[in-house]
């Protein structure tokens, strides 16, 4: 029953938290190989979603009545919307990584519970109590401190990270609404959103790739970097596994709980990125990250003590 669902959600959440570490490292490595060429960011985003689409291609249709009725048009619109959100988060994440350090990007995303509270109220009608909202103040304070003193601060990177954070929260809450309706399984949602994201990103990928291929038809493979291909394969595989585990975990828990699990993952990513890439971080940034992490534990405690109120 519920206990089994929580166990399953915890296991999937653990898988979800473990996978993106390699994914983020490869994202930055790919951007370094490409020398921060933003025109190919769409190619990497498309590769990620293509891997998800191919490995989820056996997912059955949600029903045999997928003909162009009013309900089917609503279904297609929902998938199109989630596809836009999903493709946007991947692209904005890459833009952010190309301008600022991984630790800074992940610290910005640590504010996700606050945005999730807002969007859960608007989309799901879930009202979060005052004490729980107040417990998130340290998270925002720590975020502001990190943003003000992080040595790699960049306006474009900061804006992309914040926008990515907001869109990702909307996507998670909206996906939870679709899963709660019972017409889609996590695997089906993974498949249809990957398909719609691919359709949206394909024109941009072709625009950036075709001119380079046509310019050297005699040796098209000369443009292929073996290290880049390896990183793309690892990145796409990690992204797919992360996405699958995220949708399954989302089906077992509330959006805000999922967001809290996300922030724990991001806190881990911050320190791993610092150790792996050797990014310089000031004492103010360390204090800010400590405030973020402490605020998240306080938030989790207050949410258990003051549970949310439904519609």
pLDDT in tens, 118-129: 999 899 888 888
* Rounded Cα distance, 202 and 47, in Å: 10
In a domain, 311, yes or no: no
In a domain, 66, yes or no: no
In a domain, 63, yes or no: no
* Rounded Cα distance, 190 and 173, in Å: 15
CA dihedral 174, 180, 184, 185 (to 10 degrees): 110
Identify the residue with better confidence: 268 or 3.
268
Strand, helix or coil at 309?
Answer: strand
Confidence class for position 174, pLDDT limits 50, 70, 90 = very high
Domain that holds residue 281: 2-57+71-213+224-305
- The DSSP-derived string for 249-296 is HHTTS-HHHHHHHHHHHHHHHHHHHHHHH-----HHHHHHHHHHHHHH
In a domain, 65, yes or no: no
In a domain, 241, yes or no: yes
In a domain, 310, yes or no: no
In a domain, 144, yes or no: yes
pLDDT given at position 170: 93
Helices 155-180, 102-109: inter-axial angle, 10-degree rounding = 50
In a domain, 20, yes or no: yes
* Rounded Cα distance, 209 and 212, in Å: 6
* Rounded Cα distance, 136 and 116, in Å: 12
| In the chain, % of residues over pLDDT 70 | 69
Total number of domains in the chain:
1
Q: Token pair of 237, please?
A: 């595989």
Q: pTM of the entire structure?
A: 0.69
Q: Judge contact between 175 and 82, C-beta under 8 A.
A: yes
């Amino acid at each position: 029953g519920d206990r089994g669902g929580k166990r399953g959600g915890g296991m999937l959440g653990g898988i979800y938290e473990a996978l993106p570490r390699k994914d983020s490292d490869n994202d930055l490595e790919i951007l370094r190989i490409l020398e921060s060429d933003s025109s190919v960011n769409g190619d990497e985003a498309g590769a990620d979603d293509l891997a998800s689409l191919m490995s989820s291609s056996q997912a059955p249709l949600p029903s045999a009545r997928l003909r162009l009725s009013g309900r089917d048009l609503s279904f297609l619109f929902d998938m199109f919307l989630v596809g836009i959100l999903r493709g946007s988060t991947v692209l904005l994440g890459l833009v952010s990584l190309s301008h600022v350090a991984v630790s800074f990007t992940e610290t910005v995303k640590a504010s996700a519970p606050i945005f999730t509270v807002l969007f859960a109220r608007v989309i799901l009608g879930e009202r979060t109590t005052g004490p729980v909202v107040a417990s998130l103040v340290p998270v925002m304070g720590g975020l502001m401190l990190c943003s003000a003193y992080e040595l790699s601060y960049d306006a474009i990177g900061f804006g992309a990270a914040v926008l990515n954070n907001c869109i990702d929260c909307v996507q998670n809450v909206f996906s939870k609404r679709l899963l709660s309706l019972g017409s889609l399984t996590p695997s089906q949602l993974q498949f249809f959103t990957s398909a719609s994201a691919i359709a949206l990103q394909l024109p941009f990928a072709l625009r950036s790739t075709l001119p380079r291929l046509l310019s050297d038809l005699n040796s098209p493979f000369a443009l292929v970097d073996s290290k880049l291909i390896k990183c793309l394969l690892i990145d796409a595989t990690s992204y797919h596994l992360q996405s699958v585990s995220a949708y399954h975990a989302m089906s077992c828990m509330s959006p805000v709980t999922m967001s809290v699990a996300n922030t724990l993952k991001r806190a881990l990513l911050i320190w791993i990125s610092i150790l792996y890439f050797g990014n310089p971080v000031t004492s103010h940034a360390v204090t800010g990250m400590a405030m973020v992490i402490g605020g998240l534990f306080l938030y989790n405690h207050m949410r258990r003590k003051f549970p949310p109120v439904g519609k």
